[in-house]
Chain A
Amino acid sequence: MRVRSLDDLKAIAQRALEKLCGRRIRIAVGLATCGIATGAEEVYSAFLKGIESLKRDILLTKVGCIGYCREEPIVNVVIPGKALLLLSRVRPEDASEILKNLIDGDVPREKIVCRVKEWDHLLEKIHYGDGFTDVSLYEDTPFFKHQRKIVLRNAGIINPEDIEEYIAVGGYRSLYKALTEMTPEMVIEEVKRSGLRGRGGAGFPTGLKWEITAKSESDERYIICNADEGDPGAYMNRNEMESDPHSLIEGMIIGGYAIGAKEGIIYVRAEYPLAISRLQIAIEQSRRYGLLGENIFGTDFSFDIRIVKGAGAFVCGEETAMIASIEGETGRPRPRPPFPAEKGLWGKPTNINNVETWCNIPVIVYKGGEWFSKIGTKNNTGTKVFSLVGEVQRVGLVEVPLGTSLKRIVYDIGNGCPDGLKVKAVQIGGPSGGCIPEGLLDIPVDYESLKEVGSIMGSGGMVVMSERTSMVETAAFFVSFTSEESCGKCAPCREGLKQMLNILNKILMGKGSPSDLELLKELSETIKTTSLCGLGQTAPNPVLTTIKYFKEEYEELIKRYD
Chain B
Amino acid sequence: MDEGKAKIIDEIISKYASRTGRVLSVLEELQEKEGYLSKESLKYISTRLNVPLSDLYSVATFYSFFNLKRAGKNIITICMGTACYVKGAPKLLEELEKLLKVKEGETTPDGSFTIRSARCFGACSMAPVIRVNDRTYGFMSPERLPAFLKLYGWKQG
Contacts and interface: CB of A to CB of B under 8 A. Distances in A.
Contacts of B51: 328
Interface string A252-288: 0000000000010100001111000000000000000
B115 to A, nearest CB: 16
Interface residues of B, number: 43
Contacts of B19: 327-328, 346
B120 A233 contact: yes
Q: Is the interface of A mostly helix, strand, loop or mixed?
A: mixed
Contacts of B30: none
A323 to B, nearest CB: 10
B66 A229 contact: no
A233 B64 CA distance: 19
A328 B127 contact: no
A469 to B, nearest CB: 6
Contact of A329 (B18, B59, B87): B59
A225 B21 CA distance: 14
Contacts of A193: none
A477 B81 CA distance: 10
B28 interface: yes
B126 interface: yes
A172 interface: no
Given A38-B126, A306-B18, A390-B127, A270 B121 contact: no
- Determine which residue in B51, B62, B118, B124 has the highest number of CB atoms from chain A within 10 A of its CB, and name it: B124
B137 A37 contact: yes
A313 B22 CA distance: 17
A311 B122 contact: no
A427 to B, nearest CB: 6
A44 to B, nearest CB: 16
A195 interface: no
A238 interface: yes
Interface string A52-75: 000000000000000001101000
Contacts of B118: 271, 312
Interface of B: 18-25, 27-28, 51, 55, 58-59, 62-66, 79-87, 118-127, 129, 134, 136-138
8 contacts: A34-B138, A37-B129, A235-B120, A238-B122, A271-B118, A311-B63, A328-B19, A478-B82
Interface of A: 33-34, 36-38, 69-70, 72, 229-235, 238-239, 263, 265, 270-273, 306, 308-314, 325-332, 345-346, 387, 389-391, 395-397, 427, 430-431, 461, 463, 465, 469, 477-478, 481, 485, 487
